[in-house]
């Protein structure tokens, strides 16, 4: 994970206190029970295998905090669900529940339902 030096300067709010929370389209229990390596599709062009990473996180996007869920991670990027659309090439910061912070540059973002977008991106050091 990338260490973001500005982390100490920001007062990152608690996930539960944020008013803008993602609303997953499936039952939360079904979402959280998956773990380990993700299934591989025969026609996959991915460079690295993805692992399930089911966790709550706080996202900073356009100077505003959002309550999101992480869905998966690989050596080069991460997937997450967010209540707002994240435009491709945009940079977001994500704080995991254990305090780790990393920056992701969005590659895709698909609307899954009301207040639910499935986004994916690559780890980045950009500001």
Does residue 5 fall inside a structural domain? Answer: no
CATH of the domain at 104: 2.40.10.220
Residue 109 and residue 39: Cα distance in Å, rounded? 21
Alpha helical stretches, state H, 1-127: 28-32
- Determine the pLDDT at residue 40: 63
Is pTM beyond 0.85? Reply is no
Q: In this structure, what are the phi and psi dihedrals at residue 28, rounded to the nearest 5 degrees?
A: -60, -40
CB 127 within 8 A of CB 113: no
DSSP classification of residue 37: B
Q: How far apart are alpha carbons 15 and 33 in whole angstroms?
A: 20
Confidence category of residue 48, pLDDT binned at 50, 70, 90: low
Whether the per-residue pLDDT at 93 is higher than 50: the answer is yes
Q: What is the pLDDT of residue 3?
A: 44
Q: Is residue 85 part of a domain?
A: yes
Question: Would you say residue 1 lies in a domain?
Answer: no
Domain count, the chain: 1
Supply the range of the domain harboring residue 114.
Answer: 17-33+49-123
**Could you give the CA distance from residue 39 to residue 92 in angstroms, rounded to a whole number?**
27
């Amino acid at each position: 994970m990338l260490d973001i030096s500005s982390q100490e300067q920001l007062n990152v709010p608690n996930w539960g206190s944020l008013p803008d929370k993602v609303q997953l389209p499936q039952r939360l229990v079904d979402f959280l029970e998956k773990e380990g390596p993700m299934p591989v599709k025969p026609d996959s062009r991915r460079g690295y295998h993805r692992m399930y990473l089911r966790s709550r996180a706080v996202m900073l996007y356009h100077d505003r905090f959002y309550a999101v869920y992480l869905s998966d991670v690989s050596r080069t990027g991460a997937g997450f669900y967010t209540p707002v659309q994240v435009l491709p090439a945009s940079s977001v910061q994500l704080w995991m529940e254990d305090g780790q912070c990393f920056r992701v540059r969005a590659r895709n973002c698909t609307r899954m339902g009301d207040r639910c977008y499935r986004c994916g991106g690559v780890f980045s050091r950009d500001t």
